[in-house]
Amino acid sequence: MANMIPSSTKEFHDSRGEEKVFYALRGLPDHITVIHSLRWLHPGHNLKLDKRIGAQGEGDFVIFDPKQGIMVIEVKGGEIWCERGEWHQKNRKTGDHKVIRPEEQASNTAYRIREEMIDRAPHLAKLLFCHAVWFPEGMPDRSNLPFNCPSDIVLDEEDIFRPGQAIDRAFAHWRHALPNRGQANEKEAKAVLNALAPSFSLVPSVRRSVEEREEQLVQMTREQGRIVTFLDEQHHAAIHGAAGTGKTMIALEKARRLGGPKDQVLFLCYNNALQRHLQQFHKHPHVTFATFHGLARELAGPGGSLDDAERKLLDLLVDDEPLPYDHLIVDEGQDLTDWLEFFGNRFRDGTFYVFYDRNQIMQAGNLTWLDSIPCRLVLSRNCRNTDEIARVAYRAGGLNVSPTLGLSGPKPILHVVDTIEDAARLTEKLLVSAREDQKAEPHEMAVLTLAPPPEDSPLSSMSPQGLKLSRDPTEGSVSVMTAWRFKGLEARIVIVPDVDFSEAGDTKWRNRLYVACSRARQQVHLIAISAGQNPASAAMVFSDSDKARRTWRALAKQLGAELSQGGKDDPVQEH
């Protein structure tokens, strides 16, 4: 039995004749390959053709016999007749009829295949490329065929019962017409089949693997969708969620839904970097993105100190002075706890939502008002981080790991270096490697410090080759700033170059480490300096046991990270 490609099919384009030919050709010897319905496109500028062919076409059947050559067969079924040298076909269902050119169709496909083969392997030009037509539901008058349809290459309904003889007859005609064409050896036969019916596996690029994870990470979860819908019926609400649970995504969606010509929305956050990001990528005609201090200066007017502006803002809120906003949404509300009660009272007749994470409190504040608001909702599913990053971030903060989307990625890596200079050099190398090897765009990377580095620190003068650094999130630049300033934002790759585990007993330090790690969507690098640090105390803190192993490797394991093994591109030595 012939090697049929596909091996079976039910798609015969509503042609009983094509179906008959398919099953007839299946009975050819097993050294023959038959391809059904081979579609082709014009190669455009990629290949110069000497013959005019259409933009696209299809060969009903392509037969490859290594002993004889390649033959394209065009099948025409139904009611067929020839009039003044033109073939006509009548549609049995509709009664419509049209002029057809089966020989030209088959010839064009054979020509297209030949030119493609020769372009790929010039030595294949020696093979016989030919064509035939088959009328499986009738018998044409062979004594009066058009000049372009010699009898030997015209097959009919009787040939259905002897396909091998019919194919041999057509090949014999072309061997006589083109006597210098030869057979295909085993190597050439493989080349022909690989061109006609290639077999390969799609190996996703590093960049595409990353993009697929990105696409899954940005999808709104059912939990988030339910909260968005529920909030449509709530005018005041506090929504708590750990890092990565989609607070900002929901806040933006609510702002978009609320905004209108008669409904001006104020979207308030604390960080300048987050405000600029929102304004750049989520601009809306009826939504104003502002920082708390920016709002104070805007409403208080020019002049005066920041303290003066805050006092004037407080007076406006307490005295119920008119404001140009109807609704207020506060993101990262844990940084504005002292003001929430005043905002809530001022927007009592509008919509007031506060999104916050009690685990990210970096300034002393009172959560009493948040805890007393009647409508309190909790986001529990992390939809920003991969499982591996979520584990490290939550362990860093001493929190229970929240449910995630179940997406896996690279494990965070703990690098241990000797000096701050080594930390800066390693950071540069990691950035360059991410750009060159992982095809990461500059704005997809962030270097987040747990404390502001001194001006004379090597971390303040880094210059990775071919990359621009910026102290604010900017398209085309790597963000370099403190984790606190980057709150509310995220990056594909995060590097934390100043991890001082001697501070692991400080809750605020662990909070900053939690914030830094949780900014990363797909990859985290933690860099610790061995000088002056002893992993023993940190290992006990993160394991909550004085029985824990007191090595860098054990500490990395407790965090859920891998310890770098060093190498020429990473000056790490295990301690």
DSSP letters, 147-163, are TTS-GGGEE-GGGGG-H
Residue 569 lies in a domain: no
> For 512-544, how does the pLDDT look when each residue is reduced to its tens digit (9 = 90+)?
999 999 999 889 999 998 877 778 778 788 877
Residues 121 and 137 grouped into a single domain: yes
Residue that terminates a domain, selected from 341, 361, 379 = 379
CA–CA distance, 77 with 87 (Å, rounded to integer): 12
Residues 27 and 152 grouped into a single domain: yes
The set of long-range contacts for 207-216, using a CB threshold of 8 Å and a minimum separation of 24, is 207/438, 207/439, 210/438, 210/439, 210/440, 210/492, 210/522, 213/386, 213/407, 213/409, 213/521, 213/522, 214/492, 214/521, 214/522, 216/405, 216/407
Q: Which of 107, 101, 111 is nearest to 49 (CA)?
A: 111
> For 371-380, how does the pLDDT look when each residue is reduced to its tens digit (9 = 90+)?
778 888 888 8
Q: How many CB atoms are located within 10 Å of the residue 6 CB?
A: 11
Residues 307 and 450 grouped into a single domain: no
Span 360-366, mean pLDDT? 59
Residue 88 near residue 100, CB atoms below 8 Å: yes
Span 468-484, mean pLDDT? 92
Residues 355 and 391 grouped into a single domain: no
Residues 13 and 150 grouped into a single domain: yes
Residue that terminates a domain, selected from 163, 196, 229 = 196
Task: Reply yes or no on whether the pLDDT at 561 is more than 70.
Answer: yes
> What's the structural domain count of the chain?
3
Residues 339 and 419 grouped into a single domain: no
Task: Reply yes or no on whether the pLDDT at 324 is more than 80.
Answer: yes
Residue that terminates a domain, selected from 379, 395, 415 = 379
**pLDDT band at residue 386 under the 50/70/90 scheme:** confident
Beta pairing class for 491-499 and 445-449? parallel
Q: How many CB atoms are located within 10 Å of the residue 291 CB?
A: 18
> For 248-287, how does the pLDDT look when each residue is reduced to its tens digit (9 = 90+)?
888 998 999 999 989 999 999 988 999 998 998 889 999 9
What's the pLDDT at 351? Answer: 93
pLDDT, greater one: 96 or 413: 413
Residue 206 lies in a domain: no
Residues 13 and 155 grouped into a single domain: yes
Exposure class string for 132-149: b at 16+ Cβ within 10 A, else e: bbbbbbeebeeeebeeeb
> For 454-463, how does the pLDDT look when each residue is reduced to its tens digit (9 = 90+)?
999 999 999 9
Residue 439 lies in a domain: yes
Residue 212 lies in a domain: no
What's the pLDDT at 116? Answer: 85
* pTM > 0.95: yes or no: no
Residues 229 and 175 grouped into a single domain: no
Residue 450 near residue 498, CB atoms below 8 Å: yes
CATH of the domain at 228: 3.40.50.300
The set of long-range contacts for 174-178, using a CB threshold of 8 Å and a minimum separation of 24, is 174/69, 174/71, 174/128, 174/130, 175/68, 175/128, 178/128, 178/130
CA–CA distance, 311 with 300 (Å, rounded to integer): 9
Crossing angle for the helix pair 535-543 and 552-559, to the nearest 10 degrees = 30
Of 53-62, 211-220, 385-394, highest mean pLDDT:
385-394
Residues 39 and 165 grouped into a single domain: yes
**Residue 164 exposure: Cα atoms within 13 Å on the Cβ side:** 9
Span 15-24, mean pLDDT? 90
Residue 91 lies in a domain: yes
Phi and psi, residue 199, nearest 5°: -120, 125
Q: Which of 533, 540, 483 is nearest to 508 (CA)?
A: 483
Residues 185 and 231 grouped into a single domain: no
What's the pLDDT at 438? Answer: 86
The set of long-range contacts for 84-92, using a CB threshold of 8 Å and a minimum separation of 24, is 85/146, 85/147, 87/146
Task: Reply yes or no on whether the pLDDT at 571 is more than 80.
Answer: no
What's the pLDDT at 573? Answer: 41
User: How many residues are present in the chain?
Assistant: 575
Query: Among 129-133, 343-347, 472-476, 569-573, which stretch is predicted with the lowest mean pLDDT?
Result: 569-573
Range of the domain at 10: 3-196
> For 24-64, how does the pLDDT look when each residue is reduced to its tens digit (9 = 90+)?
999 999 999 999 988 888 666 556 666 667 778 889 999 99
CA–CA distance, 121 with 234 (Å, rounded to integer): 70
Distances (CA, A) of 80 to 24, 135, 147: 20, 8, 18
**pLDDT band at residue 355 under the 50/70/90 scheme:** very high
Residues 425 and 280 grouped into a single domain: no
**pLDDT band at residue 222 under the 50/70/90 scheme:** low
Give the DSSP letter of residue 221.
P
Residues 6 or more apart in contact with residue 130 via CB below 8 angstroms: 69, 70, 71, 72, 110, 153, 170, 171, 173, 174, 178
Distance of alpha carbon 551 from the chain centroid: 38
CA–CA distance, 359 with 363 (Å, rounded to integer): 11
Residue 571 lies in a domain: no
Query: Among 215-224, 310-319, 392-401, which stretch is predicted with the lowest mean pLDDT?
Result: 215-224
Residue 249 lies in a domain: yes
Amino acid at 233: E
| Backbone dihedral region for residue 98 (phi beyond 0: left; psi -120 to 50: alpha; all else: beta) | beta
Give the DSSP letter of residue 62.
E
- With pLDDT > 90 as the criterion, what percentage of the chain qualifies? 45
Residues 6 or more apart in contact with residue 485 via CB below 8 angstroms: 271, 272, 273
Residue 207 lies in a domain: no
pLDDT, greater one: 329 or 77: 329
The token pair at 536 is 């023993």
First to last CA, the chain: 67
Token pair 């929102």 is found at 278
Phi and psi, residue 415, nearest 5°: -105, 135
Beta pairing class for 265-269 and 287-291? parallel
Residues 375 and 391 grouped into a single domain: no
The token pair at 267 is 């979207």
